Structure 1
Amino acid sequence: MVLVTKDVQKRDVSRLFTPTHIGKLKLKNRTVMAPLGLVGYNDARGGFNKNIQELYIRRAKGGVGMITVGLVAVDYQDFFDLSLPCPLYDPIDFTKTSKIMLEQIHNYGTKAICMISAGMGRSAFPGVSKQMWAPSEQENRFDPKKHHRAMTKAEIQQTIEDYAKGALICKKAGFDGVEIHAVHEGYLLDQFTMAFFNQRQDEYGGSLENRLRLPIKIVKAIKAKCGADFPVSLRYSLKSFIRHLREGGLPGEHFVEQGRDIEEGLKVAKIFENAGYDMLNVDAGTYDAWFWNHPPMYFEKKGIYNEFGAKVKAAVNIPVAVAGRMDDPEAINEAFDAKIDLVEFGRPLLADPDLVNKIKADDWEDVRPCISCHDGCLDRLAKGLPYSCTVNPETGHEAEYKLTQPLTKKRVLVIGGGPAGLETAYICGTRGHQVTLLEAQDHLGGAVIPGSQPSFKQDDYQLLVWFERQLHKMTNVTVKLNAPATKRDFNDPNYDTIVVATGSKPIMVDFGSKQMLKAETVLMAPNKAGNHVTIIGGGLVGCETALWLQRKGKQVTVIEMSDQLCGGPEHTPFANWEMITELLPFEGVTVLTETKVDHVEGTTVFAQDKQGRSKQINGDTVICAVGYKANDPFVNLLQTADKETYQIGDAVKPGKIMNAIWDAYYIAKDI
């Protein structure tokens, strides 16, 4: 079986490669690298370390028109020292490391602006805010037991001055402009602008004019210090999507907006234009509706901010930029049809640094897709780690990881064609080894094939298509399907190195019924499920299967032993976890947490809740989705083989796509 790429419609995106301006700043094309948090990418004096310099330089080489370098702390008032780069901590070091980076970025004809931030206010992750301040006294977004105090007017004035000083240092360092972080996502400045969070009684609270005073004073202070022609952009969320405190409104849901609604948002956009902002970088959402700002795959539609950018563009005369999973020709053209000026790529540029050049060459099939999993980027940031990328382990390590040609070309056998095996073959093939990949089934992909069947998981499938295409182009890589490995392969003198990537198998618990189905079975053949489905196991596979079947018109019940679906936000990136756990009940799925299955009779499930009360869940289909176990049939041969051998990915311990790819990369780059 050969994997089939999706049909890419409306591929002509030539408008993306026309020049444009932000004020008097000319850009060679209309592509922008969106700002991303720089946790862990600072040096010992608050400048940019070598890894982040090389990351941005690599994207400039990849063709992007402008890079938004950020997130950078305007000062360490509310950020802990050296948690991010910062222009005011050591201006000499910040300037030096900026210049080293910018002169190479500029050599590619790419412009760069610096996003500077005053902090998160009540949206701070517990333990990462020094001052614990906000516009007015309130609870922390994530931990209501923690409280933020109101900023004093002296602290507000100091923040304004710090923005102006920081912007001037950025200008002297060679940046082409700055972006203010942010009246967006519920960060500190955004909290000032919303009556929902701002209960101040002074000139910074009350009326809309007062609530906008801080971001307006900031742009005026920067212009006064840096000059009227120095571009100042604003990261701006048109609509907040706050249903209630700590609750976001879902796509298609009718609710009363507690934050900024579109009517007020358009009024605010005009005010910001008149105040002197040169560009609005538009999206939607807040930390209370975090999945809007960091869209998981469950949105399905790409270009989710186009509708908001279009409304803003109709209201203002300055340039408008949008991001939001824009790695799709239809989304790009939809943006330009709406007169939006610039298209931003964040996560897609982490997945493929050559994205822009490949789009320009109409090589969409060669774009390594972002799968919107957040495991390699946002989840690492939330844990205080430098962001990288699930599908591209080199991201953030461009200065450290260089794929070198080995002194001795080896004959490498890869057993298993799932993501770990595919990455191993790709990296070994790229480095010049002679590679043979054996796959027991008639197709590549392993467990990702059933996992990618839901419509919202198509990017997972496209990742497999990408791998297959890259391997097909390599004359030194041979892929054999319907070719299960045997002991003979381990003893074959034609192989110098063996990498076992045999993946994992679903666990089937014996609950007493022979009629239970594996989640993989139903994902590959949904017609095998009846109209009333009970899924035992509320992990990621169980929940995604439930959402997909519910959308197909089934009535689904999910039973989970623990108190959290998908392992909770500790196991699943917060935006993804929050969205799917809210989508399930919103779309009609019955969710039973803290409920333990006792036994199954036919297709009826008998269980107990945490109070010990018996439950009987009737249905016509029962699906088991309780997890996976390693598939390691060659473990003994690995221990006795007389050659270089490795076991990687799910064959060692079941995990996510990221674990499989990263395991494979680290092994394959050094074979």
Structure 2
Amino acid sequence: MEQQYEALFTPWKIGNVEIKNRIVMCPMGGTSLFGWMEPNHFDKVAAEFFLERANNDVGLIIPGIAPLRDTIGGRWLYQNPRMFRQLKPYMDTFHKTGAKLFVQLTAGFGRSFAITEALSVLLRNKALGTLAKPIVDASYICASPSPLPSRWAEDVMCRQVTKEEIHQMVEAFAKTAKLCKEAGVDGVEVHAVHEGYLMDQFTLPYTNFRTDEYGGSFENRYRFAVETVQAIKAACGKDFPVSLRYSVVSKTKGLCSGAVPGEEYTEVGRDMAESEKAARYLQEAGYDMLNADNGTYDAWYWAHPPQYMPQNCNLDDVAHIRKFVDIPVVCAGRMTPEAAAEAIADGRIDAMGVARQFLVDGQWVRKLREGRTQDIQPCICCHNACFPLAHYKGVANDETFEDASHMARCALNPATMQGHKFDIVPARTPKKIAVIGGGIGGMEAARIATLRGHHVTIYEKSHQLGGVFVAAAAPDFKEKDKELIAWYRRQIEALKIPVVYGTEITDASALDADEIIVATGAKARTLPLKGGERAMDAVDYLLGKETGEQVLIIGGGLSGCEIAYDLFRKGKKPVIVEAKNDLMAVRGLCLANSSYLRDFFQYQKVPVYLESTVAEIREKDAVIRGKDGTLTTVPADSVILSVGYTPAPALPAGRHVHVIGDACKVGNLRTVVWQAWSVAEKL
């Protein structure tokens, strides 16, 4: 182990429970031991997932939220004793790893529940909502401290939680925690005075307008959280540890409006002054640990930071709040082992919280301890599979039911949380496989096929591996993308996969191969614009083509917005023109990622023209046509075209020719990697 990481591998205590090291696997939606979007049960897939990570040196594991009451069917967790009987022998096996496990229990989501369009209908139409109640009680699921608009469908109002329902939830926390304790669970975590979930909404002035004992004063707003821990301690004993998921500062300007790093703003949620008081108050109520970061669903990028957010983005705030309590404090949010180890050694925090890195590489803690950091496959914070909850104008949560019911999967590791669907098994008959294209899809297909025992050769027309992802990783905030490319290149070298550079394959007969995988990506679309010859392609810009001061980007979406963000960071003056009514109307693009860019552009006053097109590009400016036909002239020293891509397969699909990734259908990194696995595992 490198000396700089030693502090991470020292023991510590939560109450009387000793944890062997300072690395905490934080909870992620979809990883509950009790199931997620189905009737509660002992989830064997999740159990196996956690056991593997426990066997790879994690100190404390906290599975994802377990709703006290089923989302579908409405049964309380404590009403399923069989589930807890199954949990007990699992905990006996789990403890043999030396790790500890807390179960996270949630009161619910309130206005933050990511309702889909189908569910929003049940809230808009009371008759339909009443008919659906025995199966899905949308009114209960979204019930909030006060009548509030949904975060995901702003025209839908969420009803107020009744006092009777609060008391039922407090009782359910206690009953469920007791069953967890009897099953051998080491502690529970209360979800949450955190991220703008239901209990947090009670604590925040901008979401709690109640006039009863659960609203108004500081003590009333925190009453729900206090009564919960007191009930758990009464049922389980004062020595049974209870952690609290906690947001130090809300970083919120208003409903659906967050504050980006460095922005001066007026806090409408929990500011630092209140947090100093609240942290101490919650400790005195009985909580034994704060599992902390920042944010709400209105400033979601603090709790689910994309690559645009700084690494260790919550560390300073969490370290500050540590001064006001005597219980351990965990910090999460793009944490790096280096910064975490230093902060732990200095006594600024007690442990490092990590979530999505465990999805992409379940062995990363062991690799870190063994000094094999270059073998760790990095998480790139894309949220393409772990949290693909997209929201844009006119659409609630534009997520498929398949994704909603199977969150916490991984774009880069299809095997994560999918049972044994993507197991890598030896090939019955080793074959010669030619992979055309050395981008991410080609490298992944070659890697999996080689691990299965096939003999693979990659043919790459350029002189480096990485494909279009080299351009995508070019901006300075894409350090994790760069690390991913480097990881893939090391894997290809370690597996001794031959790479033939500078070779473009257009004829299958030229290859000595039993099977051919085509992974040649896509080509950029163009537009028939007057003056269009002045525009450069997005990839050309990302690979280093210079621009002037005033830069017009034609096309929003993720690529166009990231280019505008990169230009602004370089001191340029970008303008975005997008034909749709929202900058990023893209399925699978998590709201945590897209809302950061929207909020950043609004804060920095980056001009955005929606429902607009470019009528003409001229020498020093461009003409924009609005939805109503109005023409606007904007300065444009340079123009970047970012209007999507079309598949560009080097060879057509055939009996022994398999086209994957963007060469098959343009998608994102998840679609590329998952298809690479699917094809490589069938050969």
TM-score range, shorter chain: over 0.9
1:110 is aligned to 2:99: yes
TM-score, normalising length from structure 2?
A: 0.91
Question: Which of 652, 655, 658 is 2:667 aligned to?
Answer: 655
- Residue 636 (structure 2) aligns with: 619
Q: Pick one of 358, 369, 382 that aligns with 1:373.
A: 382
SS state at 2:326 partner: coil
The runs of at least 4 consecutive aligned structure 1 residues that moved more than 4 Å come to none
Is 1:265 aligned with 2:265? no
More displaced 10-residue stretch of structure 1: 625-634 or 586-595: 586-595
- Shift in Å at residue 39 of structure 1? 7.2
Distance 2:636 2:567 in 1: 14
Which residue identity does 2:255 align to in structure 1?
A: L
Task: Give the equivalent residue in structure 2 for 1:29.
Answer: 21
Provide the residue aligned with 1:362 in structure 2.
371
Partner of 2:130: none
Closer, same or farther in 2 for the Cα pair 1:11/1:610, shift >3 Å?
farther
Which residue does the alignment assign to 2:64? 70
Q: Which runs of 5+ in 2 are unaligned?
A: 120-135, 391-396
Who is 1:198 aligned against?
Answer: 208
Q: SS where residue 300 of structure 2 aligns?
A: helix
Provide the secondary structure at the position in 2 that maps to 1:343.
Answer: strand
Cα offset for 1:576? Answer: 0.7
Whether 1:136 and 2:146 are equivalent positions in the alignment is yes
User: 1:341-400 deviations in whole A, cap 9, x for unaligned?
Assistant: 111110111111001101111222111111111111011696313120111111102443
Alignment of 1:93-172 (within 5 A): 94-126=83-115, 127=119, 129-131=138-140, 132-172=142-182
Shift of residue 150 of structure 1? 2.4
The within-5 A match list for 1:483-502 is 483-487=503-507, 489-492=508-511, 494-502=512-520
Structure 1 residue 486: Cα displacement? 3.7
Inter-CA distance 327–354: structure 2 relative to 1 (3 Å threshold): farther
Q: Which residue of 2 aligns with 1:519?
A: 538
Looking at structure 1, the residues matched to 215 and 424 of structure 2 have their Cα atoms a distance apart, in angstroms, of 55
3-state SS of paired residue (2:65): strand
Give runs of aligned pairs for residues 212-223 of structure 1, distance below 5 A.
212-223=222-233
Paired with 1:464 and 1:416, the residues of 2 have a C-alpha distance of 14
**How far apart, CA to CA, are the structure 1 residues paired with 2:492 and 2:297?**
41
Q: CA deviation at 1:11?
A: 7.1
Work out whether residues 321 and 344 of structure 1, in 8 Å CA contact, stay in contact via their aligned partners in 2. yes
CA contact (8 A) 2:506 2:650 kept: no
1:535 touches 1:557 (CA, 8 Å); kept in 2?
Answer: yes
Indicate whether 1:557 and 2:567 are aligned: no
The one-letter amino acid of 2:78's match is L
Structure 1 residue 414 displacement after superposition? 0.6
Taking a change above 3 Å as real, the CA distance of residues 141 and 585 of structure 1, as seen in their structure-2 partners, is: closer
Counterpart in 1 of 2:474? 453
Q: How far, CA to CA, are the matches of 2:345 and 2:305 in structure 1?
A: 21
Counterpart position of 2:72: 80
The CA distance in 2 between the partners of 1:586 and 1:139, in whole Å, is: 23
The answer (yes or no) to whether the contact 1:74–1:162 under 8 Å persists in 2 is yes
For the pair 1:421 / 2:415, whether they are aligned, the reply is no
1:419 is aligned with what amino acid? I
Of the three residues 469, 493, 507, the one matched with 2:525 is 507
Task: Note the C-alpha offset of 1:330.
Answer: 3.2
Instruction: Report deviation, 1:491.
Output: 4.8
* Counterpart pick for 1:16 among 1, 5, 8: 8
- The amino acid that maps onto 2:68 is V
In the alignment, is the contact (CA less than 8 A) between 2:530 and 2:615 conserved in 1? no
Q: Match of 2:498, SS? A: strand
Q: CA deviation at 1:279?
A: 0.3
How many pairs are equivalent?
646
Amino acid at match of 1:562: K
1:572 paired to 2:594: no
Paired AA for residue 534 in structure 2 = Q
Task: Determine if contact 2:30/2:405 at 8 Å carries over to the other structure.
Answer: no
- Residue 437 of structure 1 deviates from its aligned partner by 0.7
CA contact (8 A) 1:57 1:101 kept: no
Could you tell me which amino acid in structure 2 is paired with residue 450 of structure 1? Answer: A
Over 3 Å counting, the alpha-carbon distance change for 1:113 and 1:418 in structure 2 is same
2:637 and 2:17 map into 1 onto residues whose CA distance is 64
Counterpart pick for 2:53 among 59, 62, 65: 59
8 Å CA contact 1:141–1:246 kept in 2: the answer is yes
Partner of 1:231: 241
Distance 1:279 1:553, change over 3 A: same
1:411 aligns with 2:429: no
Shift of 1:327: 4.0
For 1:534, the equivalent position in structure 2 comes to: 552
- 1:432-483 CA distance string (max 9 Å, x none): 21110111111111111111111111211211111111111113x2122212
Distance in 2 (CA, whole Å) between partners of 1:257 and 1:621 is 38
- How far has the Cα of 1:65 moved from its partner? 0.8
Q: 1:521 to 1:328 in 2, by over 3 A?
A: farther
Aligned to 2:313: 304
Give the secondary-structure state (helix, strand or coil) at the position aligned to 1:168.
Answer: helix
How far off is 1:305 after superposition?
A: 1.6
Contact 1:234–1:279, Cα closer than 8 Å, also in 2: yes
CA drift at 1:558: 1.1
CA distance in 2, matches of 1:228, 1:585: 48
Displacement of 1:338 in angstroms is 4.8
**TM-score normalised by L of structure 1:** 0.92
What is the distance in 2 between the residues matched to 1:495 and 1:622?
44
Distance 1:618 1:199 in 2: 47
SS at match of 1:36: coil
**1:255 and 1:158, CA in 2 relative to 1: closer, same or farther beyond 3 A?**
same
* Partners of 2:164 and 2:189 in 1: CA distance: 24
1:142 Cα deviation from its structure 2 partner: 2.5
Using the TM superposition, give the Cα deviation of residue 230 of structure 1 relative to its aligned residue in structure 2, in angstroms. 0.7
Any gaps of 5 or more consecutive residues in structure 1? 1-9
CA displacement at 1:114 relative to structure 2:
0.1
| Alignment equivalent of 1:465, drawn from 462, 466, 486 | 486
Secondary structure of 1:297's counterpart equals coil
SS of aligned partner of 1:567: coil
Deviation at 1:336, TM superposition (A): 4.2
User: Amino acid of the residue matched to residue 574 of structure 1?
Assistant: L
| Matched residue type, 1:519 | A
SS state at 2:601 partner: helix
Retained in 1: the 8 A contact 2:42–2:84?
A: no
Secondary structure at 1:105 match in 2 = helix
* 1:291–1:155 Cα change, 3 Å: same
Q: Which range moves more in the overlay, 349-358 or 478-487? A: 478-487
Work out the CA distance in 2 between the residues paired with 1:309 and 1:464: 32
Range with bigger deviation, 196-205 or 261-270: 196-205
Which amino acid in the other structure matches residue 91 of structure 1?
P
1:241-252 pair list within 5 angstroms: 241-252=251-262
Tell me the residue number matched to 2:132: none
Greater shift, 129-138 or 337-346, is seen at 129-138
Q: Is the 8 A contact 1:55 1:397 kept in 2?
A: no
Residue in 2 aligned with 1:547? 565
Root-mean-square deviation over aligned CA pairs: 2.0
Q: Distance in 1 between matches of 2:501 and 2:551?
A: 34
1:337 Cα deviation (Å)?
A: 3.1
Task: Answer yes or no: is the 8 Å Cα contact 1:413–1:436 preserved in 2.
Answer: yes
Q: Tell me the distance in 2 between the aligned counterparts of 1:594 and 1:440.
A: 39
